[in-house]
Amino acid sequence: MLAYVLRRIGQSVLVLLVTGLVAFSMFRFVGDPVDNMLGQERTQADVERLRDRLGLDEPFAVQYWSFLTNAARGDFGLSYRQGRPVAEIIAERLPATLELAAVSAVLAVVLGVAFGIYAAIRRGGWLANAIMTASLIGVSLPTFLIGILLIWIFSVELGWLPSYGRGEVVDLGWWSTGFLTASGLKALILPAITLGLYQMTLIMRLVRSEMMEALGQDFVRFARARGLPERAVTLRHALRNVAVPVITVTGLQLGSIIAFAIITETVFQWPGVGLLFINAVQFVDIPIMAAYLMGISVMFVGINLVVDLSYLAIDPRLRAGAGGRT
C-alpha cells in the first residue's frame, strides 16, 4: 500500500517537473524577458543588471532549478503588462474563480449523479428519456453558446439575472466573497449553470451507463434474490460498485471546471483567473501564462492523487493488492 502511494506521488512529481519545464521554456525563450520587462527607455546597465538578477547567464539547469524553487514559493516575477507581481494579481482574482468553480462542481456532481441513477433505474420511462435527450444536446453545445443562450433568455428577454460581473462582493481580509450578498448570489447563477452543465451531462451519462451495467450483474441479481429492498440494491450494492469509474471521471471533470472557467468567465466578464489568463494570452503576458499553467497543473495533479487514493478507501481488493502489482 505504501509502495502504491509512493508510486502515485512519484508520477505526480514527474508531471509537475515536465509542466514546469514547459512553463520555464515559455518564460525563457518566448521573446526576450529583458525586452519585455524593461520597455523602451533603458540603459545597457539596466539590461545587465536585470540579466544578472534573472540569472539569464547561468547554465540552463541552474535557471530551471531557480525557476522551480521560485515557483514553489509562488514567485513568478512581474506581469509584463501590469508591472506588478504575478502572485499578487492572481491572488486578487482567485476567490472569484474558486467560488464559481465550487458552485458549478457541486451542481454538476449532485445533479449528475442523481439524474444518472434515475435514468438508469427508470430506463425507458418518459422522464428518463427526456433527461437523456437533453443531455445529448448538452454534450454537443459549445460552452460559450450555452452561456450566450442563458444571457439571452434570462438577462435580455426576462431581465431576471445579471449578464456580467460578480455583483457586490464582501471582503474578508484576503478573500472576497459573493456568497454574502443578494446581488452576488444572483450574479453567480448563470455562470455556475453554464460552467457546470457540460460536466453535469458527462457525469450523468457516465453514471447511467455504469449503473446499467452494474444492475445487470450477478451480485445485484443475488442481492434481489436475497430479498433486499430495492433501495439497498441500487444504492448500497450497484452504486458502490460504480464508484471507482465515476470518481475517476468526476475528479478529472472537477479539474476541467477550473480550466473551462476561462470560457465562462469571458462570456460573463467574471473577474477571475480565467479571464486574467485569456487576457494574458491576447497580450502575450508570459509570466501570467506560466503561473497559470503551473497552478493548474498542481491542481490537476492534486486531484489525481486524491482520486487514486480514494480507490483505496473504496475497493478492498486494491487495499490488499496495492503493495504489489495491481
Partner 1 sequence: MSAPDPVPPALELRNLRVDIPTRRGTLRAVDDVSFAIAPGEILGVVGESGAGKSMTGNAVIGLLDPPARIAGGEVHLNGRRIDTLGRGALRRIRGAEIGMVFQDPTSSLDPLLTIGDQLVETMRAHLDISGKAARARAVAALEEVGIPGARDRIDSYPFQFSGGMRQRVVIALALCAEPSLVIADEPTTALDVSVQAQIIALLKRLCAERGTAVMLVTHDMGVIAETADRVLVMYAGRMAELGPVREVIDRARHPYTAGLMASTPAASRGARRLYQIPGAMPRLTDLPEGCPFHPRCPKAQEDCRRVPRPTLAADGGRAACLHPLDPERGAEDVARAAEGTAR
Partner 2 sequence: MSRMARAWDSDLAYGFRRSPLAVLSLAVLLMLVAGAVLAPLVAPTDPFDPASLDLMNGFTPPLTENEFTGERFLLGTDDQGRDVFSAILFGMRISLMVGVLAVMLAMVIGVSLGLVAGFRGGLVDSVVMRAADVQLTFPAILVAMLIFGVAKGITPVEYRDQMAIWVLVLAIGFSDWVQFARVVRGATMVERDKDYVQAARLTGRGSLSIMLRHVLPNVLSPVLVIATISLALAIIAEATLSFLGVGAPPTQPSLGTLIRIGQDFLFSGEWWILAFPAATLLALALSVNLLGDWLRDTLNPRLK
The residue (of 81 and 224) whose beta carbon lies closer to partner 1 is 224
Site for partner 1 in 159-218 (CB under 8 A): 217-218
* Residue 229 binding: pick among partner 2, partner 1, none (C-beta 5-8 Å cut-off by kind): partner 1
* Residue 217 binding: pick among partner 2, partner 1, none (C-beta 5-8 Å cut-off by kind): partner 1
**CA atoms of 244 and 40, how far apart (whole Å):** 56
Smallest gap from Cβ 260 to partner 2, in A, equals 7
With residue 133 as reference, give the H or E element that holds it: helix 126-140
**CA atoms of 261 and 143, how far apart (whole Å):** 10
In order, the DSSP letters of 2-32 are HHHHHHHHHHHHHHHHHHHHHHHHHHHHSS-
* Residue 134 binding: pick among partner 1, partner 2, none (C-beta 5-8 Å cut-off by kind): none
- Does 226 engage in binding with partner 1 (CB under 8 A)? yes
Beta carbons of 34 and 51 less than 8 angstroms apart = yes
Smallest gap from Cβ 218 to partner 1, in A, equals 4
Stretch 229-248: interaction string toward partner 1, x if CB under 8 A: xx-x---xx--xx-------
Stretch 286-315: interaction string toward partner 1, x if CB under 8 A: ----------------------------xx
* Residue 140 binding: pick among partner 1, partner 2, none (C-beta 5-8 Å cut-off by kind): partner 2
**What is the grid cell recorded at 142?**
459549445
Alpha helices in 122-173 (DSSP H): 126-140, 143-150
Residue 179 is classified by DSSP as T
* Residue 230 binding: pick among partner 2, partner 1, none (C-beta 5-8 Å cut-off by kind): partner 1
Strand 170-172 with 175-177, pairing: antiparallel
Backbone angles phi, psi at 34, to 5 degrees: -65, -45
In degrees to the nearest 10, what's the CA dihedral of 8, 13, 14, 15?
90
* Residue 41 binding: pick among partner 2, partner 1, none (C-beta 5-8 Å cut-off by kind): none
Residue ranges binding partner 2 (CB under 8 A): 14-15, 18-19, 26, 30-31, 140-145, 148, 151-152, 156, 163, 256, 259-260, 262-263, 266-267, 277-278, 280-282, 284, 286, 289, 293, 296-297, 300-301, 304
240-267 and 286-314 are packed helices; what angle lies between their axes, rounded to 10 degrees? 160
Residues that bind partner 1 (CB under 8 A): 217-219, 221-230, 232, 236-237, 240-241, 314-317, 320
